[in-house]
């Protein structure tokens, strides 16, 4: 299961063009899709849906430091493309250390009817947390490295095509997860993966962002064998006890598929999938990493599996360093991890089918 950390931090991205190469209806004319300033999108009919979304006032929340290096300014380009399509947009930039939730609140106070998250999975997760339960739809401009959330919804990674979805798409209610009340879209973890992320940032600051630097951050972490966590996990009322260096919880079927892991049935049932790394020492962790990298990882040998709508984790430590969608923070126990159905509305391609993302 440590192998998941290796894949997430430094694996080469696998491309699936058919999953996210969406085109706007008006592609033949070379336009994104002209629309009136009052264009509206009706949510699909479903319990809790049917709200009409007004796209006249769009806020773009941009993380300038997300993902790959770019020569252009994606924020200004997005504002221009939306204006060409007949939509008013205001750009809000933020950086690490700034409270993202306050930036989103400022945009809503200014009259934003749709909020577009422009950045990587961490930025999108932060905007989603601020919008969850509000009924305000979130658009997505994927600017990160892996873009798991966007790819799970077949959202295009090309900026102009992503703007086309914001303009012409429809709003879909999606499942989210929370850990101690904080929203995550793809995954959350306790143990060594947050430590790898911390080491990766140190390596990046010294040597710059590169795949070699990412590999080094993994090796640096695994070279230091720490005492495993002793945890009690309540999974929908069933209590389990483990000694483990890592617990990893997935809420994204696309990422699950990328990692070659089982658990789709759990997500189909509205549950979360939890993977627990056995206490197998440094060599065992390396073997697990190789097994998953080769696609031969097996339950019980390389990981233990649980699924539930709600997990509660307790242990000797009062505070744990956790990671959620690539961002790190410390949280106090008990750690409560829950699945929430249809609490977030996301603008997706009009032809997107309701499948488990």
Kind plus residue range of the DSSP H or E element containing 85: none
| Cα→Cα distances 12→99, 187, 215, Å | 31, 19, 11
d(CA 193, CA 30): 44
pLDDT of res. 33: 45
Average pLDDT over residues 294-311: 82
Name 344's bridge partners: 174
Which DSSP string corresponds to 17-62?
A: HHHH----TTGGGT-S----TT-EEEPPSSTT--PEEE-SEEEEEE
CA–chain centroid gap for 86, Å, is 30
Identify whether the C-beta of residue 127 lies closer than 8 Å to the C-beta of residue 347: no
pLDDT in tens, 187-217: 999 987 776 666 666 666 666 655 566 666 5
Helices (H), the chain: 2-10, 17-20, 74-84, 100-109, 121-131, 148-152, 159-168, 192-207, 211-222, 253-258, 264-268, 281-293
**Percent of the chain, pLDDT > 90?**
54
Q: In whole angstroms, what is the distance from residue 17 CA to residue 156 CA?
A: 9
Nearest to residue 116, comparing CAs of 152, 82, 158? 82
Render pLDDT for 221-263 as a digit per residue (tens, 0 to 9): 655 656 889 999 999 999 999 999 889 999 999 988 887 888 9
Distance CA 199, CA 207 (A): 12
Radius of gyration (C-alpha) of the chain in whole angstroms: 20
**Cβ–Cβ < 8 Å for 232, 226:** no
Domains of the chain: 2-8+183-342 (2.60.200.40), 20-176+343-348 (3.40.50.10330)
C-alpha pair distances (Å), 356 with each of 63, 102, 175, 349: 28, 31, 9, 15
Q: Are 259 and 289 in contact (CB under 8 A)?
A: no
Q: How confident is the model at residue 98 (pLDDT cuts 50, 70, 90)?
A: confident
At residue 162, the 3 state secondary structure works out as: helix
Give the separation between CA 312 and CA 247, rounded to whole angstroms: 12
Whole-number pLDDT of residue 1: 57
| Cα distance between residue 228 and residue 316, in whole Å | 11
- Please enumerate in sequence order all residues whose Cβ is within 8 A of that of 310, keeping only pairs 6 or more positions apart, or say none: 235, 236, 336, 337, 338, 339
Mean pLDDT along residues 324-341? 94
User: Pairing state of beta strands 319-324 and 327-332?
Assistant: antiparallel
Work out whether strand 114-119 and strand 57-62 pair parallel, antiparallel, or are unpaired. parallel
Predicted TM-score of the model (pTM): 0.80
Give pLDDT tens digits for 114-137: 999 999 999 999 999 999 999 999
pLDDT computed for residue 354 by the predictor? 67
| Cα–Cα distance, 94 to 64 (Å, whole number) | 7
Instruction: Name the pLDDT band for 43 (thresholds 50, 70, 90).
Output: very low
* Residue 268's pLDDT band (cuts 50, 70, 90): very high
């Amino acid at each position: 299961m440590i192998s998941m950390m290796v894949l997430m931090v430094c694996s080469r991205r696998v491309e699936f063009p058919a999953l996210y190469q969406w085109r706007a209806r008006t592609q033949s004319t070379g336009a994104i899709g002209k629309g009136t300033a009052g264009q509206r999108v009706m949510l699909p009919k479903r319990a809790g849906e049917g709200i009409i979304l007004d796209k006249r006032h769009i806020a773009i929340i941009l993380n300038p430091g997300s993902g790959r290096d770019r020569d252009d300014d994606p924020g200004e380009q997005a504002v221009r493309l939306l204006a060409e399509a007949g939509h008013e947009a205001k750009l809000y930039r933020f950086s690490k250390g700034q409270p993202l939730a306050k930036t989103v609140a400022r945009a809503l106070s200014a009259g934003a009817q749709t909020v577009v998250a422009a950045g990587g999975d961490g930025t999108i997760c932060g905007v989603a947390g601020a919008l969850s339960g509000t009924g305000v739809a979130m658009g997505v401009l994927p600017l990160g490295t892996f873009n798991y959330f966007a790819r799970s919804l077949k959202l295009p990674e090309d900026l102009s095509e992503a703007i086309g979805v914001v303009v012409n798409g429809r709003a879909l209610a999606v499942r989210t997860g929370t850990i101690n009340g904080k929203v995550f879209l793809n995954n959350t973890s306790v143990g060594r993966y947050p430590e790898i992320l911390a080491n990766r940032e140190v390596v990046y600051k010294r040597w710059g962002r590169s795949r070699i630097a990412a590999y080094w951050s993994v090796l640096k972490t695994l070279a230091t064998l720490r005492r495993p966590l002793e945890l009690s996990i309540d999974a929908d009322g069933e209590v389990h006890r483990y000694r483990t260096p890592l617990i990893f919880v997935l809420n994204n079927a696309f990422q699950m598929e990328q990692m070659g892991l089982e658990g789709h049935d759990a997500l189909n049932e509205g549950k979360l999938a939890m993977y627990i790394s056995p206490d197998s020492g440094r060599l065992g962790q390396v073997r697990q990493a190789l097994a998953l990298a080769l696609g031969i990882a097996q339950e019980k040998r390389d990981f233990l599996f649980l699924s539930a709508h709600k997990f509660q984790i307790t242990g000797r430590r009062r505070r744990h360093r956790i990671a959620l969608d690539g961002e790190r923070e410390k949280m106090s126990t008990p750690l409560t991890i829950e699945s929430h159905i249809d609490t977030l509305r996301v603008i997706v391609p009009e032809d997107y089918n309701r499948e488990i993302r």
